[in-house]
Structure 1
Amino acid sequence: MVKLAAKCILAGDSAVGKTALVQMFRSDGTHFQKNYTLTTGVDLVVKTVPVLDTNDSVELFIFDSAGKELFSEMLDKLWESPNVLCLVYDVTNEQSFISCNKWLEKVRAQTPNTSLPGVLVGTKTDLSGRRTVDSSQAQAWALGQGLEFFETSVKEMDNYEAPFHCLAKQFHQLYREKVDMFHTLV
Structure 2
Amino acid sequence: MVKLAAKCILAGDPAVGKTALAQIFRSDGAHFQKNYTLTTGVDLVVKTVPVPDTGDSVELFIFDSAGKELFSEMLDKLWESPNALCLVYDVSSEQSFNNCSKWLEKARAQVPGSSLPGVLVGNKTDLAGRRVVESAQAQAWALEQGLECLETSVKEMENYEAPFRCVAKQFHQLYQEKVEVFHTLV
| Fold shared, TM-score > 0.5 on shorter chain | yes
> C-alpha displacement at 1:103, in angstroms?
0.3
Letter in 1 for 2:129: G
Q: Say whether residues 1:143 and 2:132 are aligned partners.
A: no
**CA deviation map 1:73-94 (0-9, x unaligned):** 0000000000000000000011
Structure 1 unaligned residues grouped into runs of 5+: none
TM-score by length of 1: 0.99
> C-alpha displacement at 1:132, in angstroms?
0.8
Paired with 1:124 and 1:43, the residues of 2 have a C-alpha distance of 21
Runs (4+) of structure 1 exceeding 3 A deviation are: none
Q: Say whether residues 1:104 and 2:104 are aligned partners.
A: yes
**CA deviation map 1:63-115 (0-9, x unaligned):** 00000000000000000000000000000011000000000000011011111
Paired with 2:123 and 2:148, the residues of 1 have a C-alpha distance of 14
Matches within 5 A, 1:12-91: 12-91=12-91
Residue identity (%): 84
Structure 2 unaligned residues grouped into runs of 5+: none
> C-alpha displacement at 1:144, in angstroms?
0.3
TM-score by length of 2: 0.99
Q: Say whether residues 1:179 and 2:179 are aligned partners.
A: yes
SS at structure 2 position matched to 1:125: coil
Q: What do you get for the CA RMSD once the two structures are aligned?
A: 0.4
Paired with 1:101 and 1:167, the residues of 2 have a C-alpha distance of 19
Paired with 2:14 and 2:5, the residues of 1 have a C-alpha distance of 27
Paired with 2:55 and 2:129, the residues of 1 have a C-alpha distance of 42
**CA deviation map 1:118-158 (0-9, x unaligned):** 00000000000000111100110000000000000011110
Letter in 1 for 2:141: W
Q: Say whether residues 1:114 and 2:111 are aligned partners.
A: no
Q: Say whether residues 1:168 and 2:163 are aligned partners.
A: no
SS at structure 2 position matched to 1:122: strand
Number of aligned pairs? 186
Letter in 2 for 1:63: F
